[in-house]
A = this chain, B = another copy of it.
Amino acid sequence: MLFKLLCHCLGLLCVVFVSYWNIEWRGGFAWDASFLQFNWHPVLMVTGLVVLYGNAAILYRIPFTWSQRKQHWKLVHAALLLSSLILSILGLCAVFDFHTGYHIPNLYSLHSWVGICTVVLFTAQWLLGLVGFLSPCSPLGFRKLLKPVHAWMGMAIFILSLASCLSGINEKLNSTAAYSSHPAEALFANFLGVLIVAFGLVVLGILSNQRWSRLEPGEESSRVSILLSAVIS
């Protein structure tokens, strides 16, 4: 419970910090292919691809959901991730429009390579999740096969999104000449990076704790039989 509360507080702080950074030091927001449109990019990526995504990922680890029908929580999980995906795509539109407006080439930096791969993988993961887990005609065997891949790919996408955010903040601050003299903006945005790392590690900590995973009746018996055979042998 403490971890979940910490997760929500850190997520909220990430959104507040990334918004304040772009309002206070970057001139605020617009949607006119100017650098003010670029400012939507970090806000939408941090809010969508980190905070909303992280909260959607730990949804099944909240104990009070375990006693309720899983189908409802699958829909909430899918809806949260769809919101996250939409914000991420809008965040990409913001940067592509800005690049077009200022005749800056797209997708040349390592940050952009990792970032675009993250969103492409996320889109594929969401669509596969929809077909595999929410479609009524998806066979049980396929769901069982897909589940560990879905969980693993979900964690991988989250790690890639954390790395993209950190390299993106670093890249943006590097373009300010005074970065090395520790201006207030640099300290603030570096601290935003630290908050993103802290949020990410708390989410990954919750996900990696087996005690917090929702127990599936079918899985329990198979896990018990595997463990029993290992003990007996």
Contact = CB atoms under 8 A, between A and B. Distances in A.
Contact-residue bracket for chain A: 35 or more
A113 B187 CA distance: 10
A197 B152 contact: no
Given A152-B205, A163-B163, A170 B224 contact: no
For the complex, would chain A's binding face be called helix, strand, loop or mixed by DSSP majority? helix
Given A162-B159, A220-B231, A109 B190 contact: yes
A44 to B, nearest CB: 19
A100 interface: no
Contacts of A223: 227
Interface string A7-40: 0000000000000000000000000000000000
Contact of A190 (B105, B110, B152, B217): B110
Interface in A192-233: 193-194, 197, 200-201, 204-205, 208, 215, 217, 220-221, 223-224, 227-228, 230-231
A138 to B, nearest CB: 24
Contacts of A162: 159, 163
A187 B231 CA distance: 51
A68 B145 CA distance: 32
Contacts of A224: 224, 227-228, 231
A109 B166 contact: no
B110 A155 contact: no
A156 interface: yes
A199 to B, nearest CB: 13
Contacts of A227: 220, 223-224, 227
Interface string A92-114: 00000000000011001111011
A146 interface: no
Interface string A113-148: 110010000000000000000000000000000000
Given A109-B173, A155-B208, 4 more contacts: A159-B200, A159-B204, A167-B167, A223-B227
